[in-house]
Amino acid sequence: MTSVLLVLDPDHGAPPLAADLRAAGIHVLGACPCDKLVQEALRQGPDVLVGWSSHPGEPLFRALDILRTTQALPVLVFSGDAGVEAMERALQCGVQGWVVQGYAAARLRPLLQLVQARFRHERGLRDALEDLGNRYEERKLVDRAKGILMLARQVPEDEAFRLLRQSAMQQQLRVGQAAQLLIDAAQDAAGVNRSGQLRMLSQRLVKLYALQVAGGEAEAGAARVLQSQAVERLEANLAQLGRLLSKPTFGDLLDGVLSAWKPLDAMLGEAPQAARLLKLDALAEALLQAAETLTAALEQASGMPRLHVINLAGRQRMLSQRLAKEVLLATLLPGPMAALAREAAERTALEAEEALAALQAAPLSTPEICATLAAAAQAWPQMRAGIDAAGTPAGRQQLADASDTLLERFEQLTGQIEHSMQTLIG
């Protein structure tokens, strides 16, 4: 039996709706005024809402509009108002039946059937439109995911789609769902990689500054060019992270990195002096810590185990520059400070060797990744040799070259892990 909730204005001319509905075999749940309509409709859950109002006002339309957005149901209203404005307002509120000066008991049952049929039809149209919108959005996701795979794996479009579809089948997902997961994975991996680069650049800038202090004109000139490139890269990374990361989620951490970068950037604009090395290094350490905090937060927020390997490989970039920086400081600073720098360099070398061993033990997935890691391991003895000879111009150059070689190898390794299939689609 169809159930009905009545909404009635206090009106002596109202028809006997409740009695006529019951006579037509309709279950009347009760009646309520406009200000109780939403509450009673939610509480009683009628099949149809039937109303009478000789001259409907804004309270009725406002209640119907709220009901439409909270618990839509078929609505039939009898009215004495033949104005176009009232009819248009009723349509805006989702009224399926608006009967003007046409009440008759014999019409109640067919009118109720009409508004229910019209409600089902409208709901079907809305569902179809929503499905079409979802399909359009899903198509955009698939195209974006294919683009990521094409760029990362250097494959044509049809192969990228095959990989995506295979991933969806393995995970028992729709292709659109698999595409969204891939996009999220790529974004998370890019965030960790770029944030990790900030750590490396904080140490590289001090290393290049120290090379300018220690070297001759040619050596200082080369280091100055590299320093300018490092500054540009750091600022580009900050801009990219600003676009990539959620402001409400990570904005405070990114602001911390920016705050740490500003004084360091200002000092790098001044002429290099040995007396400023310690202050510059302290500013770089503040930037390093802010970048470490951001990188750790990005890794933790993602929950992707593969990001730990990206973070570990990316951190080796920083350690290659940090170690060279500390060795250079040990040759440039006065006695006690030089001793502290040498001790720090020994700790950094040990940390780098332990991390290299951890990477070698990790389940790295492709021959290319394994080959890059092997090349990084082979470059490590050259770094050790440069450390031992850092007190001479030739030794400093060897140290700088070896640290740049290690940096290049670990940059390549981090990028390969970021773009690997295990990272992108699991």
Instruction: Select from 51, 5, 57 the least CA-distant residue to 26.
Output: 5
Residue 220 three-state SS: helix
Comparing 240-244, 273-277, 305-309, 354-358, the range with the smallest average pLDDT is 305-309
pLDDT at 426 over 70: no
d(CA 82, CA 406): 83
H or E element that contains 7:
strand 3-8
d(CA 202, CA 237): 12
Instruction: Please report, for residues 246, 337, 380, 396, the alpha-carbon distance to residue 320 in angstroms, rounded to integers and kept in the order given.
Output: 30, 21, 9, 14
Give me 285's structure tokens. Answer: 């350490």
d(CA 288, CA 318): 9
Q: What does the pLDDT look like over 131-176, one tens digit per residue?
A: 887 788 889 999 999 998 998 888 899 999 999 999 899 889 899 9
On whether the CB atoms of residues 390 and 396 are closer than 8 A, the answer is yes
Using a pLDDT cut of 70, give the percent of the chain over it. 99
Q: What does the pLDDT look like over 302-359, one tens digit per residue?
A: 877 778 889 999 999 999 999 999 999 999 998 899 999 999 999 999 999 999 999 9
Helix axes 84-92, 58-70, angle to 10 degrees: 20
Strand intervals (E) in 12-137: 27-32, 48-53, 75-79, 97-100
Displacement of CA 86 from its chain's centroid (Å): 46
Give me 392's structure tokens. Answer: 């001479």
When the pLDDT of each residue in the chain is averaged and rounded to a whole number, the result is: 91
Query: For residue 220, what are the contacts with CB-CB under 8 A and spacing of at least 6?
Result: 211, 212, 213, 272
Instruction: Select from 83, 291, 310 the least CA-distant residue to 200.
Output: 291
Residue 302 three-state SS: helix
- The type of residue at 96 is Q
Q: What does the pLDDT look like over 118-141, one tens digit per residue?
A: 999 988 988 888 888 778 888 999
- The type of residue at 387 is I
pLDDT value at residue 12 = 64
Give me 124's structure tokens. Answer: 């079907």
DSSP 8-class letter at 79: E
pLDDT at 365 over 70: no
Mean pLDDT of 15-25: 91
Q: What does the pLDDT look like over 89-114, one tens digit per residue?
A: 988 888 999 999 888 999 999 999 99
d(CA 291, CA 255): 10
Instruction: Select from 89, 80, 83 the least CA-distant residue to 11.
Output: 80
- The type of residue at 61 is F
Instruction: Please report, for residues 82, 237, 300, 346, the alpha-carbon distance to residue 304 in angstroms, rounded to integers and kept in the order given.
Output: 63, 22, 8, 32
- 3-124 CATH fold: Rossmann fold (3.40.50)
What residue segments make up the domains of the chain, in order of their start? 3-124, 185-425
pLDDT value at residue 260 = 97
DSSP 8-class letter at 419: T
Q: What does the pLDDT look like over 386-396, one tens digit per residue?
A: 888 888 888 88
d(CA 314, CA 195): 9
d(CA 331, CA 338): 7
On whether the CB atoms of residues 368 and 383 are closer than 8 A, the answer is no
Q: What does the pLDDT look like over 33-56, one tens digit per residue?
A: 888 889 999 999 999 999 988 888
pLDDT value at residue 111 = 93
